[in-house]
Amino acid sequence: MKNIFKKPSGSLESSLVQEEQKELMRLFTCGTVDDGKSTLIGRLLYDAKVLPADVIAAVERDSKRYGTTGGSFDPALLLDGLQAEREQGITIDVAYRYFQTSKRTFIVADTPGHEQYTRNMATGASTADLAIILVDATHGVREQTRRHAFIASLLGIQHVIVAVNKMDLMDFREEVYEQIKQDFTAFASRLEVRDLHIIPLSALKGDNVVVPSSAMPWYRGATLLHTLETVHVASDRNMIDFRFPVQYVVRPNAHYRGYAGTMASGVLRKGDEVLILPSHKRSHIRSIDTFDGPVEEAFAPMAATLCLDDERDISRGDMLVAPKNVPRLSASFEAMVVWMGEEPLTTDNEYLFQHATSLVPGSIDAVRYTMDVNTLRRQDAEHLQMNDVGRCAVSLRKEIAFDSYKRNRVTGAFIIIDRLNNATVGAGMILDRRVEEDDNEEEHSNVKEDADHALRATLKTIISSDSLSEEEKLDRIMRMLRTSGS
């Protein structure tokens, strides 16, 4: 059972992509403790018939010892691999599972539901294409549900499936599902989620997981597996902005110099001109080498080694981009930060910031505000506590090339590392301040226009009043104009 809980290596992921050339989807599950995340994925794997016989036999054996189903098959044990998890019946670590159907290959991250492990959930969600948020039908939408939905939106997850689980405990009643659907939809309307699916199901019994449920004839939507196989995610990747963070300089001999890394976004072809940041030197691509040999073009998220026409001083942390499509180059920016450290984030500490392949010292100049995950309202704050999400002003010791996270999830993201113990204490998403400034100017213009309109309406009312003398009208108009600053 040990091997099925290991996180995938790059070579495994590559082999999954290559096998039968099926589209790869990364997804993660999240929700409140005991919502049934592990049970759902276990049931999905079991009913989709993608498990080897020896794995099923091992889970059946473990079900008698650790299971919560009275000794019968407990699908949650397929993912809850840690001894502490099995004894407590909750997911603590991020458990990964891989399977494929006739249409797609999937990498599933089962993330913790307990608030204490929100940082683990954010880790599992950071590379996902889709989120499955479980809601316990017996409890409805709760604070942790909203927290996970907000973080998923913040991390740029465009596709969300809300799995209303344990419908069997509510006698499969339609009104229970409709109430949860209404509550979640109202909250999600304030988030940036463009593709939302809400599915009623029972993970333990298998209703609407792989096979449509006969117990819920009122639901006419797709099953969970059908939705996973048909959601369109190919267009989510940024194929416009060429970004290549250099990870390693390859020098096997005196005749070869290549720059290895992973395509963060965009498409690159042999012969293309590139701009090197931060030096702003230019060159052309002589060759693109991969594990399988030379290729004519590379695209995200391929790993490749690029060779240039001429010798350039390039090292780890530099970035190759298109000369006419350049990211921002700065040592300061604004970002939304998910704080994961047990010690609070403060403005008088210095941290290490890992951005793409760069590791740069820096600090948080200011905490602008934190977000209330229930109301999505801003709250004044001077620091961030564990699991807080807030806007911060970041200042680094040297410039880096970056995009906004909304535009590019690779070059717009960073992690914060404690310099003393090397622990990851935060994750950040860079904001596009130029867009925000335009929005603020437009908002200010609209507010001013509304105020002018109200002023004119009030003046008209005073002038047309029959109950006021001409002297009183003039006095009121003068006072109103002084108050408005006109």
**Mean pLDDT of the chain, nearest integer:** 82
Residue 302 pLDDT exceeds 80:
yes
- More confidently predicted of 38 and 383: 383
Residue 437 pLDDT exceeds 50:
no
How many other β-carbons are positioned within 10 Å of the β-carbon of residue 132?
A: 28
Residue 461 pLDDT exceeds 80:
no
Q: How confident is the model at residue 289 (pLDDT cuts 50, 70, 90)?
A: very high
Looking at 3.30.1130.10, 2.40.30.10, 1.20.1260.10, 3.90.1150.10, the CATH number of the domain 243-321 comes to 2.40.30.10
Residue 79 pLDDT exceeds 60:
no
> Looking at residues 220-228, what average pLDDT do you find?
95
What is residue 269's predicted lDDT score, i.e. its pLDDT?
96
Residue 268 pLDDT exceeds 90:
yes
Q: How confident is the model at residue 274 (pLDDT cuts 50, 70, 90)?
A: very high
How many other β-carbons are positioned within 10 Å of the β-carbon of residue 21?
A: 7
- Do 328-431 and 243-321 fall under one CATH topology? yes
> Looking at residues 139-152, what average pLDDT do you find?
88
Query: What residue ranges do the domains of the chain occupy?
Result: 2-236, 243-321, 328-431, 436-484
Residue written as token pair 């069997």? 168
Q: How many residues does the chain have?
A: 486
What single-letter amino acid sits at 57? Answer: A
- Express each pLDDT in 4-36 by its tens digit: 333 444 444 444 444 446 788 998 888 787 778
C-beta of residue 239 within 8 angstroms of C-beta of residue 266: yes
What single-letter amino acid sits at 12? Answer: L
C-beta of residue 36 within 8 angstroms of C-beta of residue 166: yes
H/E stretch holding 164 = strand 159-165
Close Cβ partners of 91 (under 8 Å, ≥ 6 residues apart): 37, 38, 79, 80, 85, 110, 111, 112, 113, 117
Percent of the chain at pLDDT exceeding 70:
73
> Looking at residues 316-324, what average pLDDT do you find?
96
- This model's pTM is above 0.85: no
Residue 356 pLDDT exceeds 60:
yes
> Looking at residues 308-327, what average pLDDT do you find?
95
> Looking at residues 57-69, what average pLDDT do you find?
64
What single-letter amino acid sits at 362? Answer: G
- Express each pLDDT in 390-402 by its tens digit: 999 999 999 999 9
Percent of the chain at pLDDT exceeding 90:
50
What fold, for 328-431? Elongation Factor Tu (Ef-tu); domain 3 (2.40.30)
Return the structure tokens found at 5. 């809980």
Residue 216 pLDDT exceeds 80:
yes
> Looking at residues 70-74, what average pLDDT do you find?
60
> Looking at residues 50-56, what average pLDDT do you find?
68
Residue 230 pLDDT exceeds 50:
yes
Looking at 3.40.50.2300, 1.20.1250.20, 3.40.50.720, 3.40.50.300, the CATH number of the domain 2-236 comes to 3.40.50.300
- Express each pLDDT in 174-198 by its tens digit: 999 999 999 999 999 988 888 999 9
To the nearest 10°, report the CA torsion of 107, 112, 118, 119. Answer: -50
